[in-house]
Structure 1
Amino acid sequence: MKITFHGAAQEVTGSCFLVETESTRFLVDCGMYQGGRQASTRNHEPFAFDAKSIDFVLLTHAHIDHSGLLPKLTKAGFAGTIHCTSATADLLQVMLLDSAHIQENDAERAKRYAKSRRARQAVNEPLYTQIDAQNMLKQVRLHDYDREITPDTGIRCQFRDAGHILGSAIIEIWLTEGTKTIKIVFSGDLGQPGRPIICDPTIIDETDILVIESTYGNRVHKDMTATEAELITAIEETLKNGGNVIVPAFAVGRTQEVLYHLHRLSRLGRLHHLKVFVDSPMATEVTRITQNHMDLFDVAARDLAGWHNLGKDIPFLYFTESVAESKGLNQVRSGAIIISASGMCTAGRIKHHLVHNLPREECSVLITGFQAEGTLGRRLIDGAKRVRIFGDEIPVRASIYSAGGGLSAHADLPALLAWTGHFQRPPQHTFVVHGEQTAATDFAESLRQAHGWQVSVPEPGQEVMV
């Protein structure tokens, strides 16, 4: 049996792992690379494996860095089944069609602005179209948490709640060849315990091989008290100064969590006179999907009045419905909290709001999530005085706040060590993935120190026998 680390090896995005037995080849995730100038080039490169030879895919969750190349996989000849949770399947309907729309628009825009025929011919075609995404979605099969499935002969799997976003899963896999059975656990992205809305990650107590994420493998998040204080300060100071608060937020998970906190803090009397706009069609649709899966929420989220009818029972909340309404927000000079995607400021309507508000010192940008190297959001966090958006140099005079730690959908170092501490015996080997090189290396060392485990940080494309 062999695992090849085709993505998310010493980096955060592009999650893709090929597992091979004597008779079966399957993928765990097939994600898109995000951030940095090389991301588009890498996404357009041919797969390092024959897509036609893949028997099935196990998908941990719907985030694009885990699911975003699935339509490309189908387009390249993959004809098998994509297994995921029910909530993940619902999210894929929105996210991958949106991704395809972005691919088509970006390619068309690049051709339109190319200065010569040769330049136009050099523009990459879309990774996939909306038709490609629709074809891929026909291959998706839904599963409940904690129910064993048999995707192929000699292979048993189970999706367990990862506590990361709606529908996210840890995947337990049992592979049998002859008289030998080996268990592999892919953590997917693990959530931070104690966060609102989503339940805590499921405890796993036994495995032979562990493949675990390390996004925040060398960081300790702010506690929720500090995070709420940062959020309140950012909003109150900005509104007092007569500006707007711009909130880049991932459409899946983060937008809904920010709304939860704003609603809760408003009800507690800690925030006043709010006017919140969700300016992201995908975030709006995902919020509707979220409301359809209340059974996956924790008790506090289910009990918070108004959460069941966002936009109706929360008087300060508005969802933009059209491009004209979105453009209209750029005429608002003060008093608005604008939540928009993408969460790393790499695409979408958030870039327009940054163009109009970054140059204004009375405004602020509230960062609420992880910002990968090479992204616009990362440059803002790192203190850039000027940033390039839509080809123009934009001065950064707005205040930049970061509440991402306490709102993070990823477990921090103490949480990762606590989760791994429940294993009754050490895995035969642990592979640390889905983290920038320093974070992955530091977390691997923490696992050795805390548990005495045998741990490796695989290189991109590395093959290991298990």
Structure 2
Amino acid sequence: MKVSVLGGGNEVGASCLHIQIAGTSLLIDAGMRMNGDDPLPALGMLESLDHPKAVLVTHAHADHIGALPIIHSLYPNIPVYATPPTADLMKIMMKDSYKILEQRCRETNTLPPYTEEQVKDLLNSILLFPASGELRVGNVKIRSFRAGHILGAVMFLIEGEGETIFITGDLSFKAGRTISGAQVPHHIQPDVLIMESTYGNRAHTDRNTEENRLAKHVSEVISNGGFVLIPAFALGRAQEVLLILQDYMDKGLIPEFPIYVDGLVTPISKIYNNYPHFLKGPVAYRIKNLGDAFIREGRCRAIHSKERESVLSGKPGCIVASSGMLIGGASSWYAERLVSNEKNAIFITGYQDEESPGRKLLNIADGIEDHIELNGTSYPVKCLVGKYGLSAHADANEMNRFIQTLEPTYTLLVHGDDEARKQLSNVIDSKFHPLLVENGETYPFEKRKSGKGVIGKRYKNHANAILREKIGSLLLYQKETEETYQLAICMNVQERTNTLICHTLKGKQIKLGLGQIKETICYWNRSIDELKEAAGQVLAFSRPYLESLNWNILPDGNLLLKDIFQIMHLDSIKSQLAVSLAVQSLPENYIERVQPGITTYKIDQSIKSRLTKLALPIQGLQVNPTYAMDIARNYMAGHPRFIRCGVDDLGTEKERLTIYFDFPHAVSENERAEMADTIIKETGWPIHFSESVRQDLLQEELTKLLGNPIQTPSIHLYERKVVVSISRSENTDKMVGQFRKITGFTLQFKGQNASTQQTGKERELFQSKTVSKRLENNQAMEETKRWAKEREITIYKTSIKQEESTTIMEVHFISPEIAKLHDIELEELSYRIGMPVTYAKSPKQNEIIRLTVQLLPSSWNLKKNPSIHMDKATVSIKLSDMPVEDEITIVSEKINQATGYVLEVKV
């Protein structure tokens, strides 16, 4: 077996491989370089290589098909095979490749490598790869597998006379919006794997995060009056971008704006529409119902070159245009006109060759340069430049796991720059013999005497199977010197020492023995950013993910972790992480290490009860003390009585969070309960309220009420009473009410009887003038609920209060301000239940915040949660940009009607 690399070996571009296997020679792809003086592979090598029997095309990108007209002119009688979508896409992409070559030749005063007629001859000669996915050429059988890169992209497994070679082409395991990810062929164990390595030196960011960033940033630029240019590869990337923007509009996450589609994007999108059975369900559904999944009338418009000037003189919008690297084409034309205006933006979404204008633009964004050359002219860059990770290539972690799955004897790394291939080769297990191939070189592989496979140590399946099963898995481990559990992904194994080579979530390489591995949580194949976010939340605070779990559905007995996941239907990584931590907290006699790497957990009624009550030392049940206090301070920031909070060490490893008020008796038990519930939910800490009174502030409050300093009052803490040495006046009753509301203390004047109480009016009591039968307490509470339902009044709670010999019904509204709107109804309620009625004086802060957020327009960019100011009855929000005055007025009225609070908007 021989592999000759004509192009695309130590580079991204001009991919072309000559394969000789079982006496049959094949060519895989023949692409062109997008930059540089020499666009073609080393086709001269073909003179010294065996005559190919067929050409196989992996996919229709120019760097894989751009040189095929020359190949066809050299070998006009050999078949060129492509999948049906690839064949259709080639008809557009080949003509575009010819235009690029022709333009480049005009600029350099050179001859084009082939003619337009040769392009037509090639396109007329393409044969379709069989629908069965299998093809025989000479002495070999060829099988195709979905590559997930773009529509129609495939990988090839070539088998003949006991030898096998697997060629990936470009592949992607992350399912995009248009097509599914690569199909993984298990158990093939090829002798030689030829693997692309475009992103061999990096891990992809979370796709959802990147899509969200792109949509929101595009919307912001257009809202501020600018144009956004997205130079996108017309084949694959552009379709993804169009779906992202329109999906965000459909869901109301960004406002509607015009999308202009220019260049090759339009005809290629039409081909996608012709293959709904190759696309993902939601896209196929749109095609069936709308006729076009990408260009939709009234929102997304295809632009002819003659209309470009009118687009830029019209309403601001987003322009999705080819080429993706700003190398000529429609995107280059727009960039020349947009790049020097600070209102505009150019957003890059794909790979950029080192010499491309797109790469120069990213350098400018990094502060390396400040001018860009487009079509021979230099322009200062003043527009916003952004980069978004929507890659259609596998990353280093995925490629390594793919190699571990295929178990090849040799791995040839192609289609990547030196840095990417070198870093990838360092990660790949040496037993797979990674080779960094070079253009112009031939790599021979001698056949075994047995006739099966090529010479080279074959990876054995049976030795150290437990270790190898961990590769690609997310592991929960614990260092001997630490109590906390941590996470790592197993990248490889070192069989000689029985250790696992792992990467922490921060990317640090560590070696772990099986004894340190507490659990294998799952096989991880999504982005590392997604995992870091989930793990950070759960390891720091596991309580929210455990509180809602129904442990009682587990049967009694010894269970594996995967059994627990399955029975409890845990698909979320956060829930799985939380449960993994929870079972580690079981008593030692409930955890059995059956064999290295395999653990069972004894489940019985007592354990299920303790897990339900969270009565086990589970990691993350409480956030750290500093963060807990920050959460409490932020929550209490708007409360007029709050002073500070602190952590109390009660000994025997018990701690609590204590809240301090200046006048604790002015804060009702109901209000305290609400505060405690909220803070416990957000921190996991038990809450204690200090009863300590700031006596120094009592006199300060008296001075404010009376308007002038007085002699030191007599403070009776036990009776919650303050006696002042001044006589009563006509405003005394009002002062008494205000003082009680602020401090929770009774104010008594010289000569006043201690039992003198406030009148019903000051206490805000509502009493029917008509006497009615007093209902029993429970009946009264039920009647209150019926009253609220009949009157369509929202109340949150009812409670019975006893003041001396008087029984009072207290009704809890969202705020006292809303309660005051129902004076007549409250008097009617008094008649219906036969007792006085009052309302709770404390607002439902969480509910006010929730309703405020709910009523805010989605276009308002809320920077943090609203804050409550009870003393002013206002709810304050902070935005990135100030909305228009009319919109603020409308929203404020809605919030005021719902909560009784006035909206304050800040930027």
TM-score by length of 2: 0.46
How many angstroms apart in 2 are the aligned matches of 1:311 and 1:24? 43
How many angstroms apart in 2 are the aligned matches of 1:386 and 1:355? 11
- Counterpart amino acid of residue 243 in structure 2: Y
How many angstroms apart in 1 are the aligned matches of 2:52 and 2:328? 31
Q: What is the match of residue 382 of structure 2?
A: 397
- Counterpart amino acid of residue 69 in structure 2: P
Q: Evaluate the alpha carbon distance shift between residue 33 and residue 162 of structure 1 in structure 2; reply closer, same or farther with a 3 A threshold.
A: same
Q: What is the match of residue 26 of structure 1?
A: 26
Tell me if 1:56 matches 2:37. Answer: no
The C-alpha deviation readout for 1:302-329, integer Å capped at 9, x for no partner, is: 2457664246745210001x32113433
- Counterpart amino acid of residue 192 in structure 2: I
How many angstroms apart in 2 are the aligned matches of 1:146 and 1:242? 52
Task: Report if the CA contact (8 A) 2:24-2:139 is conserved.
Answer: no
Q: Evaluate the alpha carbon distance shift between residue 154 and residue 254 of structure 1 in structure 2; reply closer, same or farther with a 3 A threshold.
A: same
How many angstroms apart in 2 are the aligned matches of 1:94 and 1:88? 10
Tell me if 1:93 matches 2:59. Answer: no
- Counterpart amino acid of residue 133 in structure 1: V
Q: Evaluate the alpha carbon distance shift between residue 144 and residue 299 of structure 1 in structure 2; reply closer, same or farther with a 3 A threshold.
A: farther
The C-alpha deviation readout for 1:128-149, integer Å capped at 9, x for no partner, is: 2221101011221112465211
- Counterpart amino acid of residue 248 in structure 1: P
The C-alpha deviation readout for 1:344-369, integer Å capped at 9, x for no partner, is: 11121111100000000110001011
Structure index of larger Rg: 2
Q: What is the match of residue 84 of structure 1?
A: 82
- Counterpart amino acid of residue 102 in structure 1: I
Equivalent runs, 1:239-258 vs 2, <5 Å? 239-258=222-241
Q: What is the match of residue 149 of structure 2?
A: 164
Which stretch has the larger CA shift, 124-133 or 138-147? 138-147
Tell me if 1:459 matches 2:477. Answer: no
The C-alpha deviation readout for 1:97-154, integer Å capped at 9, x for no partner, is: 22223333444x43xxxxxxxxxxx721112222110101122111246521112x21
Q: What is the match of residue 101 of structure 2?
A: 103
Q: What is the match of residue 184 of structure 1?
A: 165
Counterpart secondary structure, 1:163: coil
Matching residue within 238, 243, 260 for 1:260: 243
Q: What is the match of residue 113 of structure 1?
A: none
Q: What is the match of residue 260 of structure 2?
A: 277
How many angstroms apart in 2 are the aligned matches of 1:460 and 1:52? 18
Q: What is the match of residue 214 of structure 1?
A: 197
Q: Evaluate the alpha carbon distance shift between residue 227 and residue 44 of structure 1 in structure 2; reply closer, same or farther with a 3 A threshold.
A: closer
Tell me if 1:297 matches 2:279. Answer: yes
Counterpart secondary structure, 1:264: helix
How many angstroms apart in 2 are the aligned matches of 1:456 and 1:296? 34
How many angstroms apart in 2 are the aligned matches of 1:76 and 1:414? 40
Q: What is the match of residue 141 of structure 1?
A: 127
Q: What is the match of residue 221 of structure 2?
A: 238
Tell me if 1:345 matches 2:326. Answer: yes
Distance apart, 1:77 and its partner CA:
4.3
How many angstroms apart in 1 are the aligned matches of 2:194 and 2:131? 19
Aligned length: 437
How many angstroms apart in 1 are the aligned matches of 2:157 and 2:294? 38
How many angstroms apart in 2 are the aligned matches of 1:311 and 1:22? 45
Q: Evaluate the alpha carbon distance shift between residue 312 and residue 374 of structure 1 in structure 2; reply closer, same or farther with a 3 A threshold.
A: closer
Q: What is the match of residue 388 of structure 1?
A: 373
5+ residue gaps, structure 1, are 111-121
How many angstroms apart in 2 are the aligned matches of 1:244 and 1:145? 44
Counterpart secondary structure, 1:435: coil
Q: What is the match of residue 44 of structure 2?
A: 47
Distance apart, 1:447 and its partner CA:
1.4
The C-alpha deviation readout for 1:366-389, integer Å capped at 9, x for no partner, is: 101111111111111122310111
Q: What is the match of residue 429 of structure 1?
A: 410
- Counterpart amino acid of residue 120 in structure 2: Q
Q: Evaluate the alpha carbon distance shift between residue 418 and residue 400 of structure 1 in structure 2; reply closer, same or farther with a 3 A threshold.
A: same
Q: What is the match of residue 318 of structure 1?
A: 301
Distance apart, 1:49 and its partner CA:
1.5
How many angstroms apart in 1 are the aligned matches of 2:132 and 2:404? 21
Distance apart, 1:21 and its partner CA:
4.2
The C-alpha deviation readout for 1:140-176, integer Å capped at 9, x for no partner, is: 111246521112x211101111000000001110122
- Counterpart amino acid of residue 347 in structure 1: G
Counterpart secondary structure, 2:27: strand
Task: Report if the CA contact (8 A) 2:270-2:292 is conserved.
Answer: no
Matching residue within 362, 368, 375 for 2:343: 362
- Counterpart amino acid of residue 53 in structure 2: D
Matching residue within 303, 309, 312 for 2:292: 309
The C-alpha deviation readout for 1:423-460, integer Å capped at 9, x for no partner, is: 2xx211011111111101111111127xx422111122
How many angstroms apart in 2 are the aligned matches of 1:88 and 1:311? 19
Tell me if 1:417 matches 2:400. Answer: yes
Task: Report if the CA contact (8 A) 1:216-1:412 is conserved.
Answer: yes
Tell me if 1:408 matches 2:362. Answer: no
How many angstroms apart in 2 are the aligned matches of 1:243 and 1:356? 12
Q: What is the match of residue 119 of structure 1?
A: none
How many angstroms apart in 1 are the aligned matches of 2:132 and 2:185? 12
The C-alpha deviation readout for 1:158-198, integer Å capped at 9, x for no partner, is: 1111000000001110122xxxx211000111113232211
Task: Report if the CA contact (8 A) 1:101-1:130 is conserved.
Answer: no
Q: Evaluate the alpha carbon distance shift between residue 312 and residue 260 of structure 1 in structure 2; reply closer, same or farther with a 3 A threshold.
A: closer
Q: What is the match of residue 174 of structure 2?
A: 193
Tell me if 1:67 matches 2:53. Answer: no
How many angstroms apart in 1 are the aligned matches of 2:437 and 2:50? 25
The C-alpha deviation readout for 1:62-85, integer Å capped at 9, x for no partner, is: 100011100122234443111111
Taking every aligned residue pair, what percent have the same amino acid on both sides? 27
- Counterpart amino acid of residue 286 in structure 1: I
- Counterpart amino acid of residue 83 in structure 1: Y
Task: Report if the CA contact (8 A) 2:22-2:163 is conserved.
Answer: no
Counterpart secondary structure, 1:101: helix
Task: Report if the CA contact (8 A) 2:24-2:140 is conserved.
Answer: no
Distance apart, 1:54 and its partner CA:
2.9
How many angstroms apart in 2 are the aligned matches of 1:92 and 1:210? 26
- Counterpart amino acid of residue 284 in structure 1: T
Distance apart, 1:41 and its partner CA:
2.3
Tell me if 1:446 matches 2:446. Answer: no
